Structure 1
């Protein structure tokens, strides 16, 4: 097994050298997944995120860069699924999307076990705090927290988050 050399020995040091050597490669790798415009943005964000690590030398720069970039893509996808932009909500092709999401969420909540559903509905729809729910249902706050965790896991699993 060969020993990895620090980046500074291969090209100009630090972030500049890392960018010059791998930015085009990373951009090509990301284009297939997310398209050219988004790929360029993710490449830039990747280098911003790795800046604190660039001076210390990175043993496996391609693996490190690709992992950071893919994490950014994954995080962005999660964010978009959870909070659609105003443009997405107002576009003609997605007019039915909010209604579909509401119907899907209602079905998921109805299929949820009663113990979890009670806590979930009181918290999310009635705006009650955990101590208020605990008092209402005559259970401990810890039990409320546990049931809420299970309810959120239940929803996330069915929404494929």
Structure 2
């Protein structure tokens, strides 16, 4: 009777048999306690166990679906060629940054990597905000020119978005 109850609640006999095994293991731990109505107690334990399994199964399904939704599609994963090209481009950019004068490199690092404002950078370097903008524009130009020299297509050259969100030509 308990197996039929669990099959009805869980939808298949395999899950019902697993639940019945779990039920007997739980009841075995309670063997030393007296039970007033053993038949009702067994049905209540089986019903509660089936409910717990259905809830856990729903959560597991939602978690798995969320995980699958967050995974990139196969065409979004880089193939070996794209990974090598990206690696070459990164080395080119790193070389361009290393070749920059120290103040330009500092301004670029603090603005793009550390996320500091141009005003803060200007105060640190002892120059005007306009001076920081010019350093950044020259830095972008050097990176652009170095990438272009290696045959990389670079969109929108010499553009710098200032802190007000407007674009300025360099």
TM-score, scaled relative to structure 2? 0.40
The structure with higher relative contact order (CA 8 Å, sep 6+) is: 1
Question: Which structure's CA Rg is the greater one?
Answer: 2
> Please, what TM-score do these two structures have when normalized by structure 1?
0.42
